[in-house]
């Protein structure tokens, strides 16, 4: 259904003929729209969404709200904008946002929390990216007039830079309950929440029910070309619509994008276990290669992060070398870290080819 029908560009075709086909493992953002998405985009009914009159955008927003069991949803151009909007709604300048140390919000949104929110970040480290209420609570102090005040807790599920790790539902539920008792809202950076749901074999509605707001990406493993969603209460989404406009994210005939988003939302979640199986297969293969360090049993979803120091290379050098063979990966947070992400445009044969290229690397 996916992948095989992709038309490669002339450049890609040329490169492939010399050193083998491209295996794109840098990110699941590289997924290209499926034929079904392209068709839906071409046929989408559209209107002016700033006036609230794009029927396809409205349908997507309604479906997202239904699927998450919320009152309303909002289509936003990017996940970063969705997270920043949520932060603007829940905090005021001078407060801080509590996140895990390698969280996307604190590390990979170019400091939007500071640049646009006037907030600082309170980083709580956790080796696997999964925070507990105990870890957070010990960093909270009684209110004092001269102390910075936490405005928001933001959790990330799955946790990108810690290797696609998943919150056990009881753990995220306990954080939400504890935070709410202290009057703190909790936002979910759920860029890959459908991967978490697939790993837990639960619905996204169940595992996100206690959060005050949820952002999820259509443009990652779900495969849409552009777009993310916010879901929450009527009141939250009304405010979010204003902030989206302030940030310059009010789009017009966005139905052409929402149409692909609808296909992504309805069709892709069911096939995510395949990506997870490919990631596990990749991890098991990598773990057997001398110089590479990782524990494949820790790979829960579609992200594999491993240490290559034993190969005598930094993460960046490792990636440059395999890129010459058309196998693409990125460095991770650590100097010796490498990250690979599986998705519907890489099949089992692609994973096998990536492993072959890495096995054949010269020992440094
Ligand atoms: C990709 C991602 C986002 C949002 O990214 P955009 O590129 O702005 O859409 C947010 N959080 C996490 C964890 C992500 O991986």
Domain of 60, CATH number, reads 3.40.640.10
How many domains does the structure of the chain reveal?
Answer: 2
> Using a 6 Å cutoff on CB, does residue 212 contact ligand 1?
no
Pocket test for ligand 1, best of 104, 112, 247 (most atoms within 8 A of CB): 104
Backbone angles phi, psi at 193, to 5 degrees: -65, -30
CATH number at residue 333: 3.90.1150.10
Find where tokens 């069911």 sit.
270
Per-residue pLDDT of the chain (364 residues; tens, 9 = 90+): 444 444 444 455 555 557 899 999 999 999 999 999 999 999 999 999 999 999 999 999 999 999 999 999 999 999 999 999 999 999 999 999 999 999 999 999 999 999 999 999 999 999 999 999 999 999 998 888 999 999 999 999 999 999 999 999 999 999 999 999 999 999 999 999 999 999 999 999 999 999 999 999 999 999 999 999 999 999 999 999 999 999 999 999 999 999 999 999 999 999 999 999 999 999 999 999 999 999 999 999 999 999 999 999 999 999 999 999 999 999 999 999 999 999 999 999 999 999 999 999 987 6
**Cis ω on the peptide bond leading into residue 105 (within 30° of 0)?**
no
Is residue 189 in contact with ligand 1, taking CB distance under 6 Å?
A: yes
Nearest alpha carbon to residue 326 among 65, 8, 7, 93: 8
* The model's pTM: 0.94
Hey, what are 15's tokens?
Answer: 């490169």
Q: Kindly state whether residues 248 and 194 are assigned to the same domain.
A: yes
Question: Which residue, of 222, 249, 267, is where some domain finishes?
Answer: 267
> In terms of domains, do 72 and 201 share one?
yes
| Distance (Å) from CA 312 to ligand 1 centroid | 31
- The closest residue, in CA terms, to atom 2 on ligand 1 is 191
The residue with tokens 């860029």 is 191
CA of 104 to the centre of ligand 1 (A): 7
- Asked if residue 184 lies in contact with residue 218, where contact means CB atoms within 8 angstroms, the answer is no
Q: Within this chain, do residues 44 and 95 fall inside the same structural domain, yes or no?
A: yes
| Helix or strand run (H / E) with residue 277 | helix 272-287
Tell me which residue range forms the domain holding 49: 35-267
- State the DSSP string of 184-214: --EEEE-TTHHHHHHHHTS-HHHHHTT-SEE
The secondary element (H helix, E strand) that includes residue 59 is helix 55-68
Compute CA distances 91 → 14, 15, 70, 87, 185, whole Å.
Answer: 51, 49, 21, 6, 9
71 and 13 belong to one structural domain:
no
Based on the domain organization, do 206 and 86 belong to the same domain? yes
The tally of CA atoms less than 13 A away on the side-chain side of residue 309 is: 8
- Residue 121 Cβ inside 6 Å of ligand 1? The answer reads no
**Residue 80 CB less than 6 A away from ligand 1:** yes
Same domain, 252 and 297: no
User: Domain end: 214, 241, 267, which one?
Assistant: 267
């Amino acid at each position: 259904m996916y992948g095989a029908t992709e038309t490669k560009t002339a450049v890609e075709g040329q490169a492939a003929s010399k050193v083998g086909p491209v295996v794109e493992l840098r990110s699941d953002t590289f997924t290209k729209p499926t034929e079904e998405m392209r068709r839906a985009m071409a046929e989408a009914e559209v209107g002016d969404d700033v006036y609230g009159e794009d029927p396809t955008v409205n349908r997507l927003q309604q479906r997202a709200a239904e699927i998450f069991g919320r009152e309303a949803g909002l289509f936003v151009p990017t996940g970063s904008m969705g997270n920043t909007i949520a932060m603007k709604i829940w905090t005021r300048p001078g407060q801080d946002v509590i996140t895990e140390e390698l969280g996307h919000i604190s590390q990979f949104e170019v400091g939007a929390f500071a640049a646009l929110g006037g907030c600082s970040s309170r980083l709580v480290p956790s080796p696997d990216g999964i925070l507990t209420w105990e870890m957070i609570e010990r960093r909270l102090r009684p209110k004092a007039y001269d102390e910075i005040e936490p405005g928001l807790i933001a959790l990330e599920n799955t946790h990108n830079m810690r290797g696609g790790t998943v919150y056990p539902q009881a753990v995220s539920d306990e954080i939400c309950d504890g935070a709410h008792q202290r009057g703190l809202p909790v936002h979910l950076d759920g860029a890959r929440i459908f991967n978490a749901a697939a790993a837990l074999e639960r619905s996204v509605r169940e595992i996100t029910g206690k959060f005050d707001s949820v952002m999820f990406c259509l443009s990652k493993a779900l495969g849409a070309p552009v777009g993310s969603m916010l879901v929450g209460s009527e009141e939250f989404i009304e405010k979010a619509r204003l902030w989206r406009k302030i940030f310059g994210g009010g789009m017009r005939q966005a139905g052409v994008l929402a149409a692909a988003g609808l296909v992504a939302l309805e069709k892709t979640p069911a096939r995510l276990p395949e990506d997870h199986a490919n990631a596990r297969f990749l991890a098991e293969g990598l773990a057997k290669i001398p110089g590479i360090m990782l524990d494949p049993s820790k790979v829960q979803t579609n992200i594999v992060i491993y240490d290559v120091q034993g190969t005598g290379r930094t993460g960046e050098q490792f990636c440059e070398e395999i890129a010459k063979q058309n196998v693409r990966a990125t460095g991770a947070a650590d100097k010796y870290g490498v990250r690979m992400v599986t998705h519907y445009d890489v099949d089992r044969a692609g994973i096998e080819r990536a492993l072959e290229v890495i096995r054949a690397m010269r020992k440094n």
